Structure 1
Amino acid sequence: MNHYELAKEILDHVGGSSNITQLNNCATRLRMNFKDESKIDLNKIKEIPGVLGAAKKSGQYQIIIGTDVSTVCEEIRKMGQIDEAAAPAQKVGKLDSLMDIFASIFTPVIPAITAAGMIKAILVICVLLGMNKDSQVYSILSFIADAGFYFLPVMLAFSSAKKLGCNPYLAVMMGGILLHPNFAKMISAGDPVFFLGLPVKLVNYGSSVIPIILAVWLMTYVERFADKVSPKPVKFFMKPVLTILIVAPVVLVVLGPIGSYIGTVIAIVTDFLNNHVSWLVPMLMGAFMPLLVLTGMHWSFLPILMTSYSTYGYEAVMGPGSLVSNICQGAASLCVAMKTKDRQFKQQASSAGITALMGITEPAMYGVTIKYKKVLLSVMLGGAAGGFYSGLMGVVRYTSGTPGLLSIPIFIGENPMNVVNALISCVIGFSITFLLTWFYGFKETENDKVASPGYNKQEEESGLKSKKISISSPVNGNKVNLSKVNDETFAKEIAGKGMAVEPVDGRITAPFDGEVVTVFRTKHVIGLRSNEGAELMIHIGIDTVELEGKHFTVHVSDGDQVKTGDLLIEFDKQAIEAAGYETVVPVIVTNTGDYLDIIPSEEGPVKSGQLLFTIL
């Protein structure tokens, strides 16, 4: 299926281009919002050849395509008018909103940064092959590459304006003001500069990140004010004039220096970590990158990465660790493919493994590694080991790009050992992950097995049935299957199997006799272990972590022994729903892999203490 056909298939299952209110893409995903969500068929979208996965997160739909996503996105735009200004306001949590802003501002400029970084890498290779740095060819290619970083404020001005909702051309003008040659001359001269008696701090804003974002943020409010106070007959010129005359001085006197200071602090912290504990951040990134990607938290590092690129010309925060992590995802998937006897799963895992080695990890993550807790742990340990070596050797990434074997050139720089050490870190991560997965992480489950000599299904099943455990509902309400929960982690049983309850009150009680393993700091999740060894997670609501414990009251502590029916947590259902959050309560067996199966009861009304599901 070519890009046009793929785009057409996606449009057919989202209600057409007229239903789209927002469309953009990151490195591997289409990110979309719609007028009428009842027209969206996620299940059909997931079945389209070329679509690696699809999910809805905090009001936004994400369709995983892979590295061809930008071409598919462009094909969709060609097929009809998309009125992005008509996007309805989605009520999402502050954290999700912040991640979405970061993604929307920084993702569009990544191709320019990638191009600039790759040209620099090519220049390094050319110099190693004998090119003279004083030659005109080198000089021209050098300033071509530098332009991608120097004019970063102008590019970020445009993407920020598109996301925050102000005139993008006025925003670009603000970026140009910060980089104007006359202002650059004032900086070079070093003499004090004042505007109406207010000191203008002489800051070089070339390649900066934070100042222009703050400037555009201010512009969104000033432009509305200017629109309100400008008389209609003169609004055409008075509105933009007022906007610039207010925003520019405030930015030069106040916001610009503040943004520069924030960027300096980020650079200092990054520099300190690189110089004193260079192994720490790559090790942590190598270990926890799957969880960061799963939750979308990796977007929060974009300002740090851009600041590092513009300050040093490279970054060591995410690139080295994410490279190793992606390779480890591939190693685990390939190992599972070799061990499993299920032909269909073998094909799925092997394909996902190869794709992960190339840098696209979603098929491996959602299809293989997150399904098995020990496999995921193997990936994280291998990633930590490879990341530790990478950090110890000072590996850096010179430009953005999806880390994988195909994008190894982004690690080529003036130090020829940088790319060599990057490859060694991949070998370390791959080897450790593969061995851990083989000997510890992956064991055949009932569904993976096929009939073979010496395998007696009835005999094994009868032995496992002795572990039958009944799990009661922890809350009054209506039972629903996990597939109906509006969260990919639960709906796809990534965290484990179980069932959910739509509560009618705010009392969570113990579903069995056992122990309180952990109560999350944010009080919305509690982990329990039954006397028989079943490990249970009760998760109150969707995205309620953002409430930071507000509207929750906990009545137990870690290590407490509880009996069936004991009160564990109370929550204010009405207040949580009024804040815009769902209160459905998924009840998950986190050690699902230790059992034969989880058998849910029929959907419908349930009272606290009545059967919710059975563990076999």
Structure 2
Amino acid sequence: MAKNYNALADDIVKGLGGADNITKIFHCATRVRTQLLSMDRADLDALKRNPDILGVVESAGGVQVVVGNDVAKVYDIIINKFNIKENKAESEKLNAPAGDKTEKQGILSMFLNVLSAIIGPAIPLIMCSGLISAILVIMTKLGLSTEGTTYTIIKMFGNAALYFLPVFLAYTSAKKFGCDIMMSVFFGVVFISPTLIGFTSLGTPVHLFGLPVKAVDYSSTVIPVIFTIWVFKYVERFVEKIVPSAIKFVFKPLLCVIIMMPVMLCVTGPVGSYLGDALLAVMGAVNSAAPWATVLVIGSLAPLLVLTGMHLALIPLVMTMFSTVGYDNMLFTAFIGMNFSQFGVALACLFKTKNKNLRTLASSCAITSFLAGVTEPTLYGICVRMKRPLIATWIACVANAVFCAIFSVKVFNFGAPSFFTMPIFMNPDGSMNNFYFAVAAVVITIAVSFAATWILGFDDSVYGEETAAS
């Protein structure tokens, strides 16, 4: 039975406390993500009882409603039907008192929510560029000359998203922090200016008005630009207050740029760069001492990381690894287990259950996780609801982590593991061993998750029909 998207949109808005209780709303691949004026007005239990909603996740000051692959349709209806507009003043007023639920979630939850809002919109484009780079490896194996302009142009597209990452993140950071978008993008562009990058090859100290400027290539970095735009938010507020309205059109951006020039080049940029260097140093030390440890730990914790959104905190480190050592041997390698286990779980449910609702859901989830690496529909719609498939997921993730740790499987281009993104495991040097090991890891993950789900069984009565598998 087809979903009634209008009714689902109504139920979501009602469960969130009404349109006037929603201050921010956007969506990712499967979730409608919101910020609320007051959590007390939301009825999360009603949302969780809705059969068309796969899951509900509380975030800092808001709620994420897991809808699935049709999230864009539901989101468009909500936006057009309810004309939701942000109410910053009311949001600050209602979220300020001590004891509010948003405060209880802590700094980590708030950090992850901000990171998700900033990095999330850029991830599909980064994955697209990564896949182009991976396909280019295949094309060279099929005879494409690396000396021709065709190779150069395709490589340009494959590298573009990561290289210009500070510009993309400046834009999304500006939207998240509520500051001027064009000026924020301007600061992102400055970070990848050929002149600034050229300072790295001078070999002599660089100064601005006597202040030291760290000569660093900020392309492909994450932390420096986010930190910079966060500080710019307060600079812009200060300038807004002191510049007269009659000359604000010209002198507001001028004064902002003058203030931010030393701030971004001498403070926020270098601090963000040092933080990235520190993370990379720790990662390098671990990889040198025990290269198997990171994938084993992250793989074993993968279901928990996704459920809590903590995997997003690892994205900056992964970006740094791609731009320095050229590969990732922890996050995306571990997520072979997470992504393909959801295919195995959904497939086992599809074959074992007699519940029509679960069978319909499982077929959709299996296709989504296998072809696109999108796990939320299976994770929230099946694993969390029936519990035992979540145990099967964890078993498969551990099995994959052990295998990848033993055979040192690596990912050479940014991308979530799926059928269509398997070229990301191809080594640019032309060797195929890493790719073969990755394929073996996929097969092991699917087999283990399918078998574990089948053996552990599940109670499918939660899907509204009497017939249940055991």
Q: 2:66 aligns with which of 64, 86, 91?
A: 64
Instruction: Give the percent of matched residue pairs that are identical in Structure 1 and Structure 2.
Output: 34
Partner of 1:417: 433
The superposition leaves residues 109-151 of structure 1 with CA deviations (integer Å, 9 ceiling, x where unpaired) of 1122112111111211110100001101111121222221111
The SS at the match of 2:24 is strand
Q: 1:103 aligns with which of 116, 134, 149?
A: 116
1:247 and 1:144 mapped to 2: Cα distance? 31
1:30 and 1:133 mapped to 2: Cα distance? 43
1:98: Cα distance to partner? 0.7
1:149 and 2:126 correspond: no
Pair 280,70 (structure 1): closer, same or farther in 2 beyond 3 Å = farther
2:318 and 2:195 mapped to 1: Cα distance? 29
Give the 5 Å matches for 1:489-568.
Answer: none
Partner of 2:5: 6
1:248 and 2:261 correspond: yes
Q: 1:211 aligns with which of 221, 224, 231?
A: 224
Q: 2:172 aligns with which of 159, 183, 186?
A: 159
Pair 350,156 (structure 1): closer, same or farther in 2 beyond 3 Å = closer
Matched-pair contact (CA < 8 Å) for 1:103–1:299: yes
The SS at the match of 1:33 is strand
1:336: Cα distance to partner? 5.0
The SS at the match of 1:405 is coil
Partner of 1:239: 252
2:44 and 2:454 mapped to 1: Cα distance? 38
Q: 1:381 aligns with which of 363, 374, 395?
A: 395
Give the 5 Å matches for 1:27-176.
Answer: 27-34=29-36, 43=46, 47=50, 51-67=53-69, 69-70=71-72, 73=75, 77=79, 81-84=83-86, 86=88, 88-89=91-92, 90=95, 91-92=102-103, 93-176=106-189
1:353: Cα distance to partner? 4.9
Q: 1:397 aligns with which of 411, 420, 438?
A: 411
Matched-pair contact (CA < 8 Å) for 1:42–1:55: no
Pair 273,425 (structure 1): closer, same or farther in 2 beyond 3 Å = farther
Give the 5 Å matches for 1:530-609.
Answer: none
The SS at the match of 1:262 is helix
Matched-pair contact (CA < 8 Å) for 1:29–1:63: yes
The superposition leaves residues 552-577 of structure 1 with CA deviations (integer Å, 9 ceiling, x where unpaired) of xxxxxxxxxxxxxxxxxxxxxxxxxx
1:295: Cα distance to partner? 2.0
1:364 and 2:378 correspond: yes
The superposition leaves residues 287-311 of structure 1 with CA deviations (integer Å, 9 ceiling, x where unpaired) of 2211222222222222222222333
In the alignment of these two chains, the number of paired residues is 450
The SS at the match of 1:62 is strand
Partner of 2:194: 181
Task: Give the structure with the higher percent helix.
Answer: 2
* Long gaps (5+) in structure 2: 96-101
Bigger CA drift: 159-168 or 74-83?
A: 74-83
The SS at the match of 1:14 is helix
Structure (1 or 2) with the larger CA radius of gyration = 1
Matched-pair contact (CA < 8 Å) for 1:320–1:391: no
2:265 and 2:225 mapped to 1: Cα distance? 11
What code does the residue aligned with 1:127 have?
T
2:55 and 2:458 mapped to 1: Cα distance? 25
Pair 418,65 (structure 1): closer, same or farther in 2 beyond 3 Å = farther
2:204 and 2:220 mapped to 1: Cα distance? 23
Task: Give the structure with the higher percent strand.
Answer: 1
CA RMSD of aligned residues (A): 3.6
Bigger CA drift: 320-329 or 154-163?
A: 320-329
1:395: Cα distance to partner? 2.4
1:426 and 2:417 correspond: no
The alignment's TM-score, normalised by the length of structure 1, stands at 0.64
Partner of 1:24: 26
The SS at the match of 2:35 is strand
Partner of 1:442: 457
Higher relative contact order (CA 8 A, sep 6+): 2
Partner of 1:550: none
